[in-house]
Structure formats: C-alpha cells, structure tokens
C-alpha cells in the first residue's frame, strides 16, 4: 500500500461516501476497478503499465490506431519502455488497448493524459481536453471516476471538464467523481519513475478526492492529497514555472557574461559549492519538452482573467524563446570571423531531441534552430542517434534524416551542439569540423579539440 500524505487539515476522511462512491471504493480496494487511460504517449503509457503491474485491469485509449496495433502485438514505441513490460501485461490478461471510445463505459476510472499545447498566439489550446471530455460525457455512467492529468491552468477541471461531463445530466460528487492529478514524468531519468515520483491529487469535492487518492495509492509509492483540484493544478504550474524562470536567469547571465569573457558554466560550477541558498540551473539553446516551455504561458493567460500581469514569468518566457535566435547569431558572427557567410554554409546540428539520451522531439529548440538556418540560406543537416528521422511536428515539418558521423564531417563549415547525447562522438567532430558552437559545454569536459569552439 502506498504512503498517503494530506497537506491540509480536514475532517472529511470521516464523512460517509454516497452509494456510487462506496461501490467504486470497494472495487478500487479489491483491484477489480478497471482503469482506463486516454492518451498513450510518454505520460499515459507508463501510467497504464503501472496500474497493470499493481493488479488492476486496464484499458488504454488512443486515436492513433498504429499505436494501438503495436501495443496489442506487445511492441513498444517509446525507447525507455521495454516491450517486455507490455508483453507481460498482455500475458497476464489485464491489458487491452483500443481506438474505440465507445468503450469508455467499460472503465471505472478514466485518466486523461492528452496534450495541452499553445496556439500560434501563445494562448492555451484546450481542444484535446475539451474533445476528450465530450467523448467521456457520451458514455458517462454513475460510479465512474474521471481524473485529468494534462497540465493546465488552475480552474480547468471545474470550469472546462466538469460542465461537459454534467451536460449529460449526471452530477459530480453525487453520480460521478472528478479530480486532478498532474503528471510528473521525466523521460530518460533512471532515478525516478512513474511509480516512485510522489503523486499529487486534488478533487473537486471530498468524495472525488478520497476516491482518486485511493486509486493511486493502490499502485504508486506515495500519494500527496491537497485541498482541491485547483491547488493540484497550481502545484504543477509552480513546478514548471520555477524551472523556466531559473533557466531564463542563467540564459540571460550567459548572454550578459559573453562580452565580458566570463564562462557561465565555470561560474555555475563555482557557485554550486555553496552548501545553502543556491540550486544550480544550466543555460542552453532554448527550452524543450511538453511542460516547461508551455505551462508558464497557461498561467499568464489565466492571470489576465483576474486583471493581473505576470511580468516576471512573461519576461522569462521571452528570454527562453529567444535563445535559438541567439545561437544562430553567434554562429553567423563566428563564421564571419573566419571569413565565411552563413548563407551557403554547411552546418551540422548535433542532437535534436529536447533533452539528452531520449528520442522525444516535443518543443525541441533544435527544430527552430534548423528552420532559422534554412531561412538564412545555410544547408542544415543533423545527427542524432535517438532520432533517425525528423517527425512531423505542430509547427515544423522537415524532410531530414540523421546523417552519420563519418568521413563526411570534414565537408561541414560548422557544427552546433544542441543536445548533448552521451552516444555522440564529440571528439571526432571537434577534430574534423573547423568551428563548433557549443550550447551545452560539451567541449568544456573534453580535451582541447582542433576546432575553434564558441560557447553560446
């Protein structure tokens, strides 16, 4: 049984559950409750597998039929999830996947793990949540628990999901139950997993909170219950905004220190020797992943509803989104110093995933850097051992395949380190390419290369 922690004082635990809640609580306790997960990506699939491991029957939903087909064959399409985990769940008879959303009525608990991107105007795009809530409403029955896991602004669960579910005539806290529990996935992090990362839970009411808490306790190591869905939504926003503004700080300091001939990485390494009052964050070519580049903008948008301006957060966003432009400007300047022009130059981008040692391209700054290089007239190639072909993205579409690091390296005028994968031979690049723009301090950890290294 998982450890539970309530971070607020309440006597609600003593309240009597209504009959639909009592029946669901018994099914959760007996592990006969069927858990449905909508969205089988980096968040939904590992969550589904954890519930299967915990002894619950599970049913995964995804609009991508190819994903469903592969799961039914026992295959994995996410590098850090072994196919053996999927085959094991299938063999035990507790796992199924489908693209048929009419089967939502089969699930006793429905967990929503769909994307929450931004529009081109950098406003929240809740279409995935709205469409999913409408689909659930079409088959909603008494006794079901719905939990939103998609990161969003405080109030989404009650203001967007709840009215759509209640449109069918059922009432939250009486007939069905609704909660928010933010995902905290960190792909590629071997130290923490879906099971070991503490799980925040907040309900729209006490019955919903108790049921959601009980559900996650059945399979995860630690559950932290907060006083409401809004608080749970705010927890996730705080976590990612905290990282975004601190990364923006070191990015701005990097740009500030460059003309002073001060190495920001050396400064950070020295500063982190202080045993109190300092946590190291590192600069880079921009922010990637589905959360940190997006979530703070959800909060700034919601704040405007209350007549508030989140100037600090918005400034951090401007700094971080401007970093790809800074990298390309540094490249153009360095080429000019070598008597070359960016237009017509052959440039090799090293690493296109948003973080090291994974294949995830979501919101990767590499996509914008490649686009900026192409717009400037450069010929841009890339190498990434985890991404053999650039996938279609919401704002970018390239017809590019990863090139090998072989004798062809000498044909490039410059290389740009965007993602510092462990599997890349940076020493070989530094010996063959005359100029390297290093956004990750890779060459600060290697013997001095033949190439001229410019940090950016």
Q: Which residue of the set 43, 86, 291, 352 is catalytic?
A: 291
399 pLDDT more than 80: yes
* Averaged pLDDT for residues 440-450: 93
C-alpha 91/C-alpha 98 separation (Å) is 17
The answer to whether residue 341 is catalytic is: no
For 9-43, b/e burial (b = at least 16 CB within 10 A) is eeeeeeeebeebbeebbebbeeeebbbbbbbbbbb
Give the mean pLDDT of 233-241: 95
The rounded Cα 327 to chain-centroid distance in angstroms is 23
CB 178 within 8 A of CB 208: yes
The answer on pLDDT for 12 being more than 50 is: no
pLDDT band at 4 (very low <50, low <70, confident <90, very high): low
**pLDDT value at residue 238:** 95
Q: How confident is the model at residue 13 (pLDDT cuts 50, 70, 90)?
A: very low
Say yes or no to pLDDT of 175 above 90: yes
Which structural domains are found in the chain, ordered by start?
3-227 (3.40.50.720), 253-455 (3.40.50.720)
The pTM of the full predicted model, rounded to 2 decimals, is: 0.91
């Amino acid at each position: 049984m998982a450890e539970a922690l309530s971070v607020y004082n309440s006597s609600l635990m003593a309240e009597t559950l209504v009959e639909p809640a009592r029946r669901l609580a018994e099914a959760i306790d007996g592990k006969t409750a069927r858990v449905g997960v909508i969205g089988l990506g980096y968040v939904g699939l590992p969550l589904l597998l954890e519930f299967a491991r915990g002894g619950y029957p599970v049913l995964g939903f995804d609009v991508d039929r190819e994903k469903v087909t592969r799961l039914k064959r026992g295959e994995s399409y996410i590098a850090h999830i072994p196919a053996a985990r999927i085959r094991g769940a299938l063999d035990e008879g507790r796992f199924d996947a489908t693209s048929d959303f009419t089967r939502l009525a089969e699930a006793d608990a429905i967990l929503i793990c769909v994307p929450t991107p931004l529009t081109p105007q950098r406003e929240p795009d809740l279409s995935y949540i709205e469409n999913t809530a409408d689909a659930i409403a079409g088959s909603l029955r008494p006794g079901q628990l719905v939990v939103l896991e998609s990161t969003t602004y405080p109030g989404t669960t009650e203001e967007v999901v709840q009215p759509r579910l209640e449109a069918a005539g059922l009432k939250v806290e009486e007939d069905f139950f609704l909660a928010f529990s933010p995902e905290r996935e960190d792909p590629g992090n071997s130290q923490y997993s879906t099971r070991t990362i503490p799980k925040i839970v907040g309900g729209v009411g006490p019955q919903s909170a108790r049921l959601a808490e009980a559900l996650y306790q059945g399979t995860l190591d630690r559950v932290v219950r907060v006083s409401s869905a809004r608080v749970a939504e705010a927890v996730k926003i705080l976590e990612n905004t905290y990282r975004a503004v601190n990364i923006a700080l070191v990015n701005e300091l990097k740009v500030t220190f460059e003309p002073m001939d001060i190495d920001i990485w050396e400064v950070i390494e020295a500063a982190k020797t202080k045993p109190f009052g300092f946590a190291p964050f590192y600069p880079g070519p921009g922010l990637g992943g589905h959360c940190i580049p997006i979530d703070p903008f959800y909060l700034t948008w919601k704040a405007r509803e209350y007549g508030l301006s989140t100037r600090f957060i918005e400034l951090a966003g401007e700094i971080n989104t401007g970093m790809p432009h800074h990298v390309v400007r540094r490249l153009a300047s360095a080429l000019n110093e070598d008597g070359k022009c960016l237009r017509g130059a052959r440039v090799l981008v090293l690493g296109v995933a948003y973080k090291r040692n994974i294949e995830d391209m979501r919101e990767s700054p590499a996509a914008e850097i490649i686009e900026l290089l192409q717009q400037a007239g450069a010929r841009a190639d890339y190498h990434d051992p985890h991404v053999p072909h650039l996938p279609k993205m919401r704002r970018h579409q390239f017809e590019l395949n990863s090139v090998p690091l072989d004798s062809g390296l000498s044909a490039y005028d410059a290389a740009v380190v965007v993602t510092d994968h462990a599997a890349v031979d940076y020493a070989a690049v530094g010996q063959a390419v005359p100029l390297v723009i290093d956004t990750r301090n890779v060459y600060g950890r290697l013997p001095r290369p033949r190439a001229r290294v410019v940090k950016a």
